[in-house]
Chain A
Amino acid sequence: MDLFNLNLAIVLFIIGNFVGLEYSYRRYTTPYTEKKIDKIALILSVVGGLLINTPLYVVGCFLIGFPLGMRPGYGRIEFVVGGIIALLTYLLLNSY
């Protein structure tokens, strides 16, 4: 992967973070929650985790940035699930 494509992925990751931040501030008003999962963020995170190992990794970066960028105290479990799926997919694809 050359530097330009990596830059593109990072920029989209940052935009994903920003969209997630904006979304979660509009949706939630309480500053901190535990054991509460946002369904949209979870779906986006899982899709991002699957896409990040395909040629569409730029979109994957955008989607996986979404739960990570959510406001403090939100989106933690969603991001971890997405990250684990990304890691498992990577290991599955590279084991053959």
Chain B
Amino acid sequence: MDSSIINVVNLTIHAFLVGSLLLGLHRKIIARIQGRPGPPIIQYLLHTIKFYVKEITFPITAGNPLYIFVALLDVSVWLTALIIAIDLKSSLLIIIGIYVLQKIVEHGCGLSSGSPYGKIGGVRSVFSAAAEVPLFAVVAAIYLTTHSVLISDILNYQSIHGSLLFKMPICAFAFFILLVSKAPNSPFGIVKGKDIVSGYMTEHYGLLASIIYIAEAIAYFALLWIFIAVFIGPWVVSHPLITLAVMVGLTVILAFVNGLTPLLAPHHSVMLQMTIAGLVLCDVLYRLIMGG
């Protein structure tokens, strides 16, 4: 057996546990903002464990192989992101590809169950793909500055020239909006808006819901890690304890943003994200004209 696989197993467990705890903390802070005591911060983990031993039945309207495989694909997708970003420190473009795959998962998840709520969630997830347009623009701007899209090269660049957060604040803001739209209860969370019950997850219950929760914990960890690595710098990601501290700080900020903003209507959400994409594209053009 390769010894690198043991590292990956370690990393997976770390990502799952830390992601779960951070999502629990997120929920607790939102509750405190709303004046409730809120659940303990292990609540997300308890939900995951509880649903893991609950019965499932396949709805008779479900398209069956797809109904299971989208949940499993969700875990696969974010494990791939974890390996490519954190273990191999490879290309940011692959991460974007993975993020697009995540949209396919959400869409398939919504449509495979045959539930009307799930269908609306799946359709909304397709046009919330507007969240990825800023991502492309961010990668373009990063390429123009650092002349590489490999995360290892970006980390090297930052160790010489200082963190990218102050060099390209607009790009950092656009990536931060992506984090906001991925976090629960976000203003851009039209996919899981409370008007459509649970969105695409409405009819994935019991064991399958638990598997999707596991994937979401890993996703939260991976996205926070990529933000920290790309914009804050190598001195944070070189030590897992400092990474953890910065992640807690980011979670607090995200919880305040999500706790204090209303849920946008789908067209407003898309419009705002496209506006941010336009802002970043202006930044890219400026960098192109001024020569990097």
Contacts and interface: CB of A to CB of B under 8 A. Distances in A.
Interface string A16-32: 01100100000000001
A58 to B, nearest CB: 14
B45 A14 contact: yes
Interface in A1-52: 1-4, 6-7, 10-11, 14, 17-18, 21, 32
B13 interface: yes
Contact of A11 (B17, B239, B244): B17
A73 B37 contact: yes
B42 A21 contact: yes
B14 A7 contact: yes
Nearest to A2: B240
Contacts of A1: 239-241
Given A3-B14, A7-B10, A10-B17, A72 B38 contact: yes
Contact of A68 (B18, B37, B40, B46): B40
A69 B38 contact: no
A10 B18 contact: yes
B40 A14 contact: no
17 contacts: A1-B241, A3-B10, A3-B11, A3-B240, A6-B241, A6-B244, A7-B13, A7-B14, A10-B17, A10-B18, A14-B42, A17-B42, A18-B46, A21-B40, A21-B42, A68-B40, A72-B39
Contacts of A14: 17, 21, 42, 45
Contacts, number: 48
A69 B13 contact: no
A73 B46 CA distance: 19
Contacts of A18: 42, 46
B270 interface: no
Contacts of A70: 40
A47 B10 CA distance: 29
Contacts of B241: 1, 6
A18 B43 CA distance: 10
Contacts of B14: 3, 6-7, 10
B40 A17 contact: yes
A37 to B, nearest CB: 17
A36 B284 CA distance: 57
Contacts of B38: 72
Closest 10 CB pairs of A and B: A72-B37, A73-B37, A17-B42, A3-B10, A10-B17, A69-B40, A6-B240, A7-B14, A4-B10, A7-B13
A38 to B, nearest CB: 15
A47 B285 CA distance: 57
B17 A7 contact: yes
A10 B38 CA distance: 21
Contacts of A3: 7, 10-11, 14, 240
Contacts of B244: 6
B93 interface: no
Of listed B36, B45, B240, residue having the most chain A CB within 10 A: B240
Interface string B37-57: 111111001100000000000
Nearest to B37: A72
Of listed A2, A10, A68, residue having the most chain B CB within 10 A: A10
